[in-house]
Structure 1
Amino acid sequence: MQVVYHLGAHCTDDDRLVRSLGRNRTAFAEEGILVPAPRRYRQVMREVRLSLRGRESTDEIQEALLDAIIEEDRAKRLILSHELFLSAPNHAVTGEGFYAMLGRRLKALANIFPSAECEFHLALRNPATLIPALVARHPEFAYEGMMGGQDPTDLRWRPTIENAIETNPGVKLVLWCNEDTPFIWTDIMRRISGVGSEFPLQGELDLLSTLVTEEGLEKLGSALGGDSRPGADERHQIIAATLEEHARPDALEMEIELPDWTTEMVETITLNYEADIAAIAAMPGVELVAP
């Protein structure tokens, strides 16, 4: 059995991906690909993870967990999604660093189903927009407390991913940049589910429907649907042109207002992020989904 964990990160998904995958639940199930409703596994998975304390699960625990999560007798590929698999939002930045718990969390999740082939899927987001988004989403957490004493310019994905790979030799990490998600939504859905390009998907326009006007969405439906579906490169070009012409006002822009954050600091964080992505793409064990 393959177990696919989608971990977020925070402020990249808002459960839209698992909802879109869930629209294909019946068709996927015929292929042995199971997308259980999140309410069936999120709490029980947390309870099992905490009870194991990083140890490998027993056959009995795995069987009981699967009985709680799925109704089918067998699963070829089981897809589980929750940004709290990664961490609580107020632990994104700690005194240890930026998502410093990632390596330990991957090992703990893999140990829930130690006999399964596990994959971990994660959207990376520029810390220059991730931190403001987290603060806006969770006003109950003060900015200073959320930062854990870290300098914003030290929030780097590269050491986080390096540590995750070192802690979990042979780990399968499928990553993408949140900034690219509108262009590769279909690619992400197919990669997580494991279906080929010929498999008909529901929900391919779910994300874009939040970013473009109704006119733009109608044009996308006409251009991307039908019997003669464009290839990946052409699809990306169509989406880019539609976003440029029909994006909803402010849908792709974000004002950053945090204490002591300057334009120069934001630029530095962004340049660091771009350098980290280039380095991560070359790491062994990493598959980067890109336009």
Structure 2
Amino acid sequence: MTSTDQSPTARGSGTSATQAFRASRQEHTTGAVSAERVSSVVGRILSGVHDAIRAEKVTYDEFQAAKQWLIDLGEGGEWPLFLDVFVEHVVEDVAAETQQGTKGSILGPYYLPGQQQLPSVASLPARPDEKGTPLVFAGQVRDTDGNPVAGAELDIWHADSEGYYSGFAPHLPDGNLRGVVVTDGQGRFEISTVQPAPYQIPTDGPTGQLIEAAGWHPWRPAHLHLIVRAPGHRPITTQLYFEGGEWLDSDIAQATKPELVLTPVEQGDGRLRSEYDFVLERG
């Protein structure tokens, strides 16, 4: 992601991510959690924090610095960014233990619901002068028995060729490189778009301060985001990466998996083509 005056700030990204999360949360509200479950999970988290403090001999100065950082993280609206980058991949690993079919990955902070619905063969909405290498992404959605899933939805979104996401970078039009593609009667789809670029998460706020203080890098490899869903099937949230891509082996979000790496093929007309089939379990 190139640094320009158009770059999304951590605060702006945090605000957008928080609004999108709240909207999505209202649509997918779950039942109340029992006091026993809250006590068990929160108690285990606090126990881990206590163990780290004792093992690392954390000082009062370090404790006060951590307290200030947590306050700044909340005031800056960066909780979605921090949790999605550093925590979500473990939650997804746990969820995967009971899932069959396509490997999942993290949702990330840049999902926006309610995008334009598109036919099985479609181009993602883009600017007339959209830069980047043309990419055709095609495949089929099947169930775990190998049957095609007609009318499945592929909710797809990705960064542009400079690493920016619409809805989070002020210079991009709403809905750019986002859409919901509906498979045909054989569960097939073919999506024309551009190859996304790697990007760095916003570093001008508390999350960036932590990354710098720890000596880590803030980069994510180029990827396509997808939620694949169909009535009567368990939805899959995943990300697809590109073979040989930068940061593939050192993703700051630790979300890459070998099963999710595409191998684009040159088509001889300046386009790349990648194929990937999705498998949904019934549920």
TM-score between the two structures when normalised by the length of structure 1: 0.24
> Which structure has greater strand proportion?
2
Q: Which has the higher helix share?
A: 1
